[in-house]
Structure 1
Amino acid sequence: MSDRARCIRAWGDRRARVLMIAVLLAAACASLFIWQRPWIAGLCLLGAAIGTYGYFEFRCPRCRERFMSFSRDAVRFDRTSCQSCGLPKNASPLGADCSR
């Protein structure tokens, strides 16, 4: 697999994780306020928590370190570059844009 293909796959995986978290949180809200099924909301919130952990476990395509920090002082959901090597979000390790 080429570096560009690996990079595109990695950033696509990160976007999929964000989408999964958003869908699970929306389902939790819908199950509480529309359907009034708290057990479904609990399962959705558990899934969102596991998905958030996976989001923070995302590895940078260039340095293979965590893209975002777990420390309380540095937690930011909107990080635009790798905390270790500074690779911008959706960028190739070689410098090309990997957004699509």
Structure 2
Amino acid sequence: MARAVTTRTPEWTDTDRSLVLAYLDYERLVCRGCGGYLPETTSPDNEGSYHAEPPHRCHRCTAIEKQRKDYEDAPQPSALVVWPADLRRRNG
């Protein structure tokens, strides 16, 4: 009677696992609001030391948000997740 041996390649390599664990560590150290490094941004030594610049408007986001509002009443509007936007240069 012959035997068959199946060799499987692991779905996750040691490198894959290390990268995912490093990313999870990184995520824990980043503020979800501003993207700042939490050990720095939450340090009592830095209280009152930050200065925020005036905001910038992303005109691409503005166009996408305007288009998104036109589809609020569409069936399953949350399924509309791809919003292409292109830059149209003005002549002159």
Give yes or no for TM over 0.5. no
Of the two structures, which has the highest relative contact order with CA contacts closer than 8 Å and spacing of 6 or more?
1
Mark the structure with the bigger radius of gyration: 2
Q: Please, what TM-score do these two structures have when normalized by structure 2?
A: 0.24
Q: Please, what TM-score do these two structures have when normalized by structure 1?
A: 0.23
